[in-house]
Homo-oligomer: A and B are copies of this chain.
């Protein structure tokens, strides 16, 4: 790996593990066993590293959100899709942890982050509309609008919420439980066939299965 990429990789690891406000460029250089001067040669400050990591995140989550499950009516596919979206958020979770603060320090981030939110809204809208059109989801248009916000809000804050509550669990379980939270919002509107899969997931990842 090139030094530049290694810096980005290490920064992301440290930001996620220690929190971005608690990580300096000196910490990053130290972790990599390179001199702060060498790091400075590649990035002229932490803000440049953050901007670059955001570009990476924007590009990878954008790709996922712009290609939602194509008209799939199978709940398995939607589960998997949500899992992938969540995983991407998890990989860049430091952005979400201090969101208000980060956006205030780097205002350019705010607008672009809002665009990602808009993409999330569109993706979830598309999934629900397609299920609904095919009679697999009985929610009306107004309910679907409210549902979309509930889903996007959960995607955005689930990791923070679990942190806050002091829940410790493996990343994969954390994400599966997040998907279960989302699917539970849609569950009452699903047909019997879809519900079968939902109940299987409930048994595997639900609060009662876990605790």
Instruction: State the A residues within 8 Å of B (CB).
Output: 19, 21-22, 97-101, 103-104, 113-114, 117, 141-143, 145-147, 149-150, 152-154, 156-158, 160-161, 163-166, 180-181, 184-185, 187-189, 202, 206-208
Contact = CB atoms under 8 A, between A and B. Distances in A.
Given A99-B164, A142-B207, A153-B161, 12 more contacts: A22-B104, A97-B100, A100-B101, A113-B164, A114-B164, A117-B165, A141-B208, A145-B207, A150-B184, A153-B153, A153-B154, A157-B161
A113 to B, nearest CB: 7
Given A206-B146, A208-B142, A158 B153 contact: yes
B165 A114 contact: yes
A145 B100 contact: no
B146 A21 contact: no
Contact of A145 (B97, B98, B154, B206): B206
Contacts of A164: 99, 103, 113-114, 117, 156
A147 B150 CA distance: 12
A114 B161 CA distance: 10
A105 to B, nearest CB: 9
B207 A150 contact: no
A83 to B, nearest CB: 17
27 contacts: A19-B100, A19-B104, A21-B101, A21-B104, A97-B100, A98-B98, A98-B101, A100-B160, A101-B101, A103-B164, A113-B164, A114-B165, A114-B166, A117-B164, A141-B208, A142-B207, A146-B184, A146-B207, A149-B181, A150-B150, A153-B181, A156-B157, A156-B161, A156-B164, A157-B160, A185-B185, A188-B189
A108 B165 CA distance: 15
Contacts of A185: 150, 185
